[in-house]
Amino acid sequence: MSVAAVEPDRISFYARKILRKIETNFKIIPINSLRNRQYSLKSPIYITIEYDNGHVIASFDDIEAFAYSDNEFEAVDMLCEEIIILYRDLVEDQESLGPLPRKWLSILHNFIQCN
């Protein structure tokens, strides 16, 4: 049984094609504000924007938070709200948090500052 070798030029061609496809469906952007006067960010949060069948999904994977909408602005805005809601809930229940929620709270404490 013989195996045909793939030419390096073909590998490079397909690698570029795959990367272009990924780049058109995903991007990572910084958000500098949670769009809420009660909270500010100490440093930018990098979120992922994904385009899927006419919808936009914004996610902050470190805390498993996401939101989706028909456009990027609304998806990011909804994600900011989701982050704030999660932060408030975690702060209120600090004493009874399990390992994963405790990790999320630690991550959020690194980014969020109460005004």
Q: In the prediction, which pLDDT does 70 show?
A: 96
Is 18 among the domain residues?
no
Is 20 among the domain residues?
no
With 0.85 as the threshold, say if the pTM is over it.
Answer: no
* Gap between the Cα atoms of 53 and 30, Å rounded: 23
- Percent with pLDDT over 90 in the chain: 75
Is 7 among the domain residues?
no
Q: In the prediction, which pLDDT does 2 show?
A: 58
- Percent with pLDDT over 70 in the chain: 90
The parent domain of residue 88 ranges over: 26-114
- Mean residue pLDDT of the chain comes to 90
Kindly list the distances between the CA atom of residue 66 and the CA atoms of 8, 21, 35, 78, 82, in Å, as whole numbers in the listed order: 39, 22, 16, 8, 7
Is 16 among the domain residues?
no
Is 93 among the domain residues?
yes
Query: Does residue 102 register a pLDDT over 70?
Result: yes
The order of strands in the sheet holding 65-69 is 26-31, 45-52, 55-60, 65-69
Number of separate domains in the chain = 1
Is 19 among the domain residues?
no
Q: In the prediction, which pLDDT does 73 show?
A: 96
Query: What average pLDDT score do residues 82-86 get?
Result: 97
Do 31 and 108 form a contact (C-beta atoms < 8 A)? Answer: no
Query: Does residue 43 register a pLDDT over 80?
Result: yes
Is 12 among the domain residues?
no
Is 92 among the domain residues?
yes
Other Cβ atoms closer than 10 A to 89 = 13
- How distant is the alpha carbon of residue 33 from its chain centre? 14
What is the dihedral sign for C-alpha 91, 96, 97, 99? Answer: positive
Q: In the prediction, which pLDDT does 114 show?
A: 94
Read off the pLDDT band of 18 (50, 70, 90): confident
